[in-house]
Amino acid sequence: MPPNHTYHGYACGQAYYFIRLFLEGKNLGRVFSNDSGVITERNPDSVRGVDVAYFSYERLPAGELARKGYYDVIPDLAIEVRSPSDRWRSVLEKVTEYLGAGVTVVVVFDPPTSSAFVYRADQEPQTFGPDDTLRLPDVLPGFELVVRRVFE
C-alpha cells in the first residue's frame, strides 16, 4: 500500500497529541500511533495497523514494553483517520473488525467533513460535528476534545 497523504499524518498526530496530553500524569494507560499492529483475529491471524490506539493499564499493564512483534492485547480505543482513498465501506469493515476483537470504542475522524463518528458494540453510532465536544467516558473518563481541533 502506498503511504497515506500528508494531511492524514497530521490529523493522526493531532489525535495522538490530545490523548497523550490528557494522559499526562494520570497513570491510566498508554497511547500508540503510526499504524501500530493490532491482532484482531487468530487462526488465521489478522493484523490491522491502527492509526492511534489507547491501551489502559488494565489491558496492557504498566512496565517495560516488548520491542518486537505484536502485542496479544486489544486496545480500549482505536482511532482511524479516513484517508482520501478510503471508501466508507472499507472503513466500516475495519470498525466492525475492531469491535469484534474487543475494542471498546472506535472513533473515525473524517477530514472532508471535520467530523467524528463514534462506534461501540451493540449501540447506534454517534456523530460529532466540528464544534461538538467528543467525550469518551467509558475509556478515558474526563477526556474532552472539540472535534475541529484534530483538523486545525
What does the pLDDT look like over 15-61, one tens digit per residue?
999 999 999 999 999 999 987 787 778 888 788 889 999 999 999 98
Query: What's 22's domain CATH number?
Result: 3.90.1570.10
Whether 117 is in a domain gets the answer: yes
Whether 113 is in a domain gets the answer: yes
Whether 3 is in a domain gets the answer: no
- What total number of domains does the chain contain? 1
For position 4, what pLDDT does the model report? 59
Query: 39 Cβ partners below 8 Å, 6+ apart?
Result: 45, 46, 47, 70, 71, 72, 74, 101
Whether 75 is in a domain gets the answer: yes
Q: Which residues form the domain of 146? A: 9-63+70-150
For position 13, what pLDDT does the model report? 94
Indicate the pTM of the whole model: 0.92
Whether 2 is in a domain gets the answer: no
pLDDT in tens, 96-111: 999 999 999 999 999 9
Whether 1 is in a domain gets the answer: no
Whether 54 is in a domain gets the answer: yes
